[in-house]
Amino acid sequence: MALVKCNECGSEISDTASACPKCGAAVVRKLGEHEDQCPHCMTVVNASATKCPSCGAVKGYMFDRRYGAFGKTGTIIWGIVVPSLIAIGAASVTSGFSLLLMLLPVYAAYRVFVTGPRWWATGLPG
């Protein structure tokens, strides 16, 4: 057991503590090669985990309360395919302006893929 400094208040705390006993700040741990840390409760989980066992946060590219976290396939369908079909249908009825509007969700889906999956707080315990 080693002592580390708290990032918030500077007091020395155990490296196995989940939070600083003085100020309550969460302790960020050094992670192994195949480990990830839930940003909501600071629990160390496997890098391929899609749900935090402690707080119930889910990992994905997009999140909807009704459908949960979306992986790559769901993001492609709801972020690129569906807006494209809607814009093509609207462009056949109106001017080509709707094709320009189609680029907004496509760009958003692209940014989601560039940044990678993230953790979403669900409010449900693991």
- The secondary structure of residue 65, as a DSSP letter, is T
User: How buried is residue 119: exposed, middle or buried, by Cβ count under 10 Å (0-12/13-18/19+)?
Assistant: buried
Q: Which residue has the tokens 């056949």?
A: 92
Distances (CA, A) of 121 to 37, 50, 112, 116: 13, 12, 17, 16
Task: Give the three-state DSSP class for 46.
Answer: strand
Neighbours of 120 (CB within 10 A): 18
The residue extents of the domains of the chain are: 1-29, 31-120
In whole angstroms, what separates CA 32 from the centre of its chain?
A: 20
List pLDDT tens digits, range 66-91.
Answer: 777 788 888 778 777 887 787 777 77
Note down pLDDT in tens along the chain; length 126 residues. 678 888 888 888 887 787 888 888 877 777 788 888 888 887 888 988 888 888 888 888 877 777 777 888 887 787 778 877 877 777 777 666 666 776 777 777 778 778 888 888 876 555
Neighbours of 45 (CB within 10 A): 20
